[in-house]
Amino acid sequence: MENDLILVVNAGSSSIKVALFDGALQTVATGAVTEIGGAARLKIGVERACEAPDHDAALSLLLAGLAEAGHPVARLKAAGHRVVHGGRALTGSVRVTPAVLAAIEACVPLAPLHNPHNLAAIRALGRLAPALPQVACFDTAFHATNPEVALRYALPAAEEAKGIRRYGFHGISYASLALRLPELLGAPLPGRVLALHLGNGASLAAIRDGRSVATTMGYSPLDGLTMGTRTGAIDGNAVLRLAEDHGIDGAKRLLNNRSGLLGLGGASDMRALHAAGTEEARFAVAHFGYWAVRHAGSMIAAMGGLDCVAFTGGIGENDAEARRAICEGLGFMGVALDPAANAAGGTRLDRAGSAVPVVIVPAAEERHIAADVVAVLGPETTDTKK
């Protein structure tokens, strides 16, 4: 049986999502286990209850389910994993080795809510399919091209040496966007792209000549824009006050899980806020748009101008009102939406004759990871001992 499929794994704290891609990088199958350690649910085609006390059990169920659907482990050529944090050392997709695992482990203090679960999935797959080559793809890697002046906080060297610096996130999404944008535009990649990854987690990136030169998230995904449950940018002394009032753990939960759109408007989902129609909900939506525009000004300054606006992510792709508010706020830069195109949610949203193209780029992070697997291992990789 030919081993021609690439497995992409995205592991969270209580879920694992997988996707299978063929040699042409077309999706063959998808699956997920949610509520790991609790009332777990397995979905491959149909959804059903399952027993998944840990990531090993969840991944075993997914591999068995894919096999039942006609895609056994024997058909897998390699696997790619989304890993949230690569720190300063891991700045590109790389084949998993003991040294790479140790480097990802070393980044756990930088991403304690994410890297342990990414590691759990890598190790689980290593036990379930020990001969299968694995590749780690990092959400921080795309932003490693930011200049040092953009990455360094104004802290003493001893604190910076601990890894306290800006890293940025959503890098896999931005790398995918930059690669696919020329095809959607029917033209070469614009020199200065304002990329907006807007979802429950939201950030902006300044992409100059295909390379990230600035981004809104920093040491953690908390910084920058107003998000579903995260505050976005907040004064450090305000954080210290919250820690005094609520304790460190309480402040962490407040900043990451109870703030943002939820804290302002009572719901973390933009659709629910639009439907609510309350004064608080309207303010939350306005807050989201205002800070997106304000941070966009910073990104445009970092690039020295603006040649294209590109939206991706759940809100970016589906919320016409959010796109309208942001583009109106960028009107001073020559951004002009076509209202009908924006309402329809097609690919090109800018008004005819506009100086700045406005584009929706549908998220395709899993496909990008699969492409990185091929790039790292080579299209004909079958030697699992390399």
Residues catalogued as catalytic = 139
Tell me which amino acid residue 53 is. Answer: P
Element at 127 (helix H, strand E): helix 115-128
- Side-chain-side CA neighbours of 163 within 13 Å: the count stands at 12
Q: CA torsion angle for 11, 204, 369, 85 (degrees, to 10)?
A: -50
CA distance 74 to 60: 14
State how far the alpha carbon of 336 is from the alpha carbons of 61, 92, 325, 329, 333, in Å. 49, 36, 11, 10, 9
Burial of 127 (0-12, 13-18, 19+ CB in 10 A): exposed
- For residue 5, give both structure tokens: 């499929």
| 3-state DSSP percent of the chain in helix, strand and coil, to 5 | 45, 20, 35
CA dihedral 282, 269, 275, 357 (to 10 degrees): 70
Other CB atoms within 10 Å distance of the CB of residue 372: 24
Backbone angles phi, psi at 342, to 5 degrees: -65, -40
**Alpha carbon distance 328, 225 (integer Å):** 17
Six-digit token string for 29: 């199958």
* Alpha-carbon distances of 93 from 142, 168, 177, 212, rounded to whole Å: 10, 16, 17, 16
CA atoms lying within 13 Å on the CB side of residue 337:
25
Q: Which two tokens stand for residue 133?
A: 């080559």
CA angle 44, 48, 54 (to 5 degrees): 85
HSE (side-chain half, CA atoms, 13 Å) at 151: 20
